[in-house]
Amino acid sequence: MTLLAEQAQPVSLFGWNLGFTIGLLVVVAVVALVLPILVLAWRIGNQAAMINAALQRSYRNTAALATLRQTIDHAEVIVGGLKGARARLGGGGN
């Protein structure tokens, strides 16, 4: 037994140290790449309520435009009637 202990080579930890260093560098690189994305997502999340409120206001403010086609159709009928009346009364123009 003492003969084996005297002949044993010292254990090299170079591989472990190299692997630990590379692993640590990979973790640092991933954190450096993901952290800005998470910060931007957090900022967008904080602004989402304001954006939603602004979109709802714009929807309310433009809801009347949905009936614009109907208003234009009525105006065209009225203008057509006025043109016909003007022509019957002997008025000139288009």
**CA–CA dist 84, 87 (Å, integer):** 5
pLDDT, tens only, 25-64: 999 999 999 999 999 999 999 999 999 999 999 999 998 8
Residue at 79 is within a domain: yes
Domain range holding 75? 12-88
Residue at 94 is within a domain: no
**CA–CA dist 76, 64 (Å, integer):** 19
**CA–CA dist 51, 43 (Å, integer):** 12
Number of domains present in the structure of the chain: 1
The DSSP symbol for 9 reads P
Residue at 5 is within a domain: no
Residue at 37 is within a domain: yes
- Segment 10-24 shows an average pLDDT of 93
Residues 6+ apart with CB under 8 A from 94: 83
Evaluate if residue 4 carries a pLDDT over 80: no
Residue at 43 is within a domain: yes
pLDDT, tens only, 73-89: 999 999 999 999 998 99
pTM: 0.46
Consecutive H or E run containing 51 = helix 14-62
- Segment 1-6 shows an average pLDDT of 58
Averaged pLDDT of the chain: 89
Identify the pLDDT of residue 41: 95
